[in-house]
Each structure stands twice: as C-alpha cells, then as structure tokens.
Amino acid sequence: MTERFRTRFEVLDERFRRVNGDEWTECLWTGGRWLEGPAWFPAGRYLVFSDIPNDRLLRWDETTGQVGVFRQPAGYANGHTVDRRGRLVSCEQGNRRVTRTEPDGTDTVLADRWRGRRLNSPNDVVEHSDRSIWFTDPSYGIDSDYEGHRGESEIGGNHVYRVDPHGGEVRMVADDFGQPNGLAFSADESTLYVVDTRARHLRRFTVTESGTLRGGEVFATCDAGSFDGVRLDEAGGVWVAAHDGLHCFDPDGTLLGKLHLPEVVANFTFGGPKRNQLYICASSSLFSLRVNVNGVRYPG
C-alpha cells in the first residue's frame, strides 16, 4: 500500500490561495541515498529519476506503481530532461558530460568539454525550442567520490553553458556563479532562471535572440537551506526546491507560499497528461500529488 501524509500548503500571500491539490501526498517509493532529476515520459506514462550515490537511474511506472532500475551504472547522473523528440537528455556527473539516449538505447555525447578542457560535473539541463541544450556545471561530482569521482577542475570555475543545435559548439553563457544548479525557461523562453546553491538564491536572465544571456539579477533568496531545482507553472509561478519543500514565487519576486515536505527537496517536475501531477525527489523518497495548477507548456 502506498504511504501518504496530509498535504500542507502554507499561504504567505493571498495570491497563493489559487493553489490547491490533493488532501494527501503520496510517497511512491523510498530507499534511495539522494534522489534527483525526475523526468516525465508522457508516451510511456513513466518517470525516470536519479539515485546519484548509488549510481543508478530508476523508473516509476504509472500503470503498475512499481519502481525498477532503468540504468546502472549511470555515470552518477543527476538532472534530466525529455527533449522535443521524446529522448532522455542526462547530466552525467561521474562521466563529466551531457548525453542523449537514442531510441535504440545508444548514447550520443552532446557536451563533455569546453575549449578542449573537461567539464566539471554537469548538474541540470533544459532544452530551448530552437533545439539548443542549456546546462549548469558545478563541481559536486568532482568534489568527492560520493556522487561522482574526485578530481580537479580543468576549467577553474563553475559555469552555465549552451550547446548549439547545429554545429554542437559548447558556449559558456554565464561565468559568475558559485555553484550553478537548477535552471528553467519562462513560458516564452525570453527569461532563464538559474539557481546558485552556494549563494542560496535564484537569478533571472534575459535570453537574447543570438542565444546569449543579459542581466542576471537576484530574483529570490532562499529562507530554508538552499535552492535546487526550479520549474514554472502556466500562470507564471516560479517553483523552487528548498530544504522545507517547494517555494512558489510570483513573477514579481514575491514569495507566495510553500508546499511543505518531510524531507529536503532536491528536484521535481510537472507530469501527467495535463501536466498537473507533481513528482518530487526529496532526499531518499519520491513523492507525488495532483495540484490545480499546470506546468508550463513550452513552444515547439
């Protein structure tokens, strides 16, 4: 039987009263060391997520409610996304690269170096409608052997990158982060939100037509540990993972409210046929509930 607990939304601004959902939050699975990077596959009705220290990807099947090993070893994979063609794109911390899993199961390396130097340990990834791939590259996977392989940074910093959709060139788009982490586009892709876990805040950039970034002001600061993953809903709400659950911000930067969870939240995604099912990776457990807001639908 699936374990569950009473859902607790905390309203900090009256505008958050629009948000509600299931009375009970379900724990779909527990037993991981540090869960991350949930990615929803609509066609297969399943969720792929990472158990980083155990070097495996897990798969939760909506039709059976069962969790099994999707891939092991998995390059100590962290964040994932599903591209416009339904393929899994993964940040492999241990292998220090970003890969795409093709329909036949083979892997295509999208990025493993910048200017000839190995990446640190790619962390989270999103796709733009022009098919470019954007990812963060902090040092977590080379800081120790816990979630990767201890090693030296060849680049000497922790940056944000863009992979060109045509020639595959890897270009640095932001170089002033402590530890860049989760990232997400606004609905029209004119804005990119990027978490800096070390600084405990979320920054907001303007995306130019040439695929560069401008601005980068602090959008929100975390009041419970530090931020990690970030997603947006269709109403423009900016949801960010924190140590006490999910924080929801208005586009003006106001903290509207929180969804409290019993474990430290790393990352999450909106899934299901209407994008209104929250799947949340929190420490050792995978939680889920259906809400009355929908995850943003991107162009393309």
Average pLDDT, consecutive stretches of 10 residues, N- to C-terminus, the chain (300 residues): 90 97 98 98 97 98 97 98 97 98 96 98 98 98 98 98 97 98 98 98 97 98 98 97 98 98 98 98 98 96
What gap in Å lies between CA 15 and CA 195, rounded to an integer? 24
Do 248 and 222 touch, CB atoms closer than 8 A?
no
Mean pLDDT of all residues belonging to the chain:
97
Q: What was the pLDDT predicted at 268?
A: 98
- Find the largest Cα–Cα distance for the chain: 52
Do 212 and 128 touch, CB atoms closer than 8 A?
no
Do 215 and 197 touch, CB atoms closer than 8 A?
no
Tell me phi and psi for residue 141, to 5 degrees.
-75, -15
Q: In this structure, is the dihedral angle defined by the CA atoms of residues 135, 91, 170 and 168, taken in order, positive or negative?
A: negative
Quick one: DSSP state of residue 53?
G
Q: In this structure, is the dihedral angle defined by the CA atoms of residues 201, 84, 93 and 283, taken in order, positive or negative?
A: positive
Do 110 and 65 touch, CB atoms closer than 8 A?
no
What is the value of pTM for the model shown?
0.98
Pairing of strands 255-260, 265-271: unpaired
What gap in Å lies between CA 126 and CA 248, rounded to an integer? 20
Tell me phi and psi for residue 80, to 5 degrees.
-140, 165
Start-end of H helices in the chain:
140-143
Q: What was the pLDDT predicted at 283?
A: 97
Q: What was the pLDDT predicted at 1?
A: 52
Quick one: DSSP state of residue 293?
S
| Terminal C-alpha separation, the chain | 39
Rg over CA atoms, the chain: 18
3-state secondary structure of 54: helix
Identity of the residue numbered 106: T
Do 274 and 263 touch, CB atoms closer than 8 A?
no
Do 270 and 233 touch, CB atoms closer than 8 A?
yes
Q: Tens of pLDDT along 83-117?
A: 999 999 999 999 999 999 999 999 999 999 999 99
Alpha carbon separation from 74 to 54, 56, 290 (Å, rounded): 9, 5, 29
